[in-house]
Amino acid sequence: MTKDLQNRWADKIKFSYRHFPLIGLVGHERSPVAAEAAECAYEQDKFWPYHDLLFANQPAFSQESLLRYSNQLQLNETEFKLCLASRVKAQVVKTDREEGLSKKVDATPTFFLNGEVVGDWRTLPQLVAEKLGEKLPIQ
């Protein structure tokens, strides 16, 4: 959905992504590490493809899975492993999560439009269209 929004209104909207690992949710214990892995993929210009693999395969976030996803995307294995092992991206993920908590985020996905939380994320395309003065919903 976000890709559709960006494709349709690339010159009119700004999309920002923040990590919000599901800490405390059974099966998602490694979600902070998975978010760090996505940041490591970002260093090789593969954030979105890596993010999409994580989302499609959640909660398969074992070390082996994270490395397998990087291999699927043909990331530089040495650089990726070093980045992940160093935990250099942990602060980025922690800061994003703290920002989410300060804004009362409690689930994923959570979207904000002009600073206001969107109650039902499935309504986001229609809300964006309305804000931009368009009458037709996204098809």
pTM: predicted TM-score of the whole model, two decimal places: 0.88
Task: Report the alpha-carbon distance of residue 137 to residue 40 in Å, rounded.
Answer: 36
Task: Report the alpha-carbon distance of residue 8 to residue 137 in Å, rounded.
Answer: 12
pLDDT at res. 25? 86
Q: Which residue has the tokens 């493809």?
A: 49
Print pLDDT tens along the chain (139 aa): 788 888 888 899 998 999 999 998 888 899 999 999 999 999 999 999 999 999 999 999 999 999 999 999 999 999 999 999 999 999 999 999 999 999 999 988 999 999 999 999 899 999 999 999 987 555 5
Task: Report the alpha-carbon distance of residue 26 to residue 16 in Å, rounded.
Answer: 27
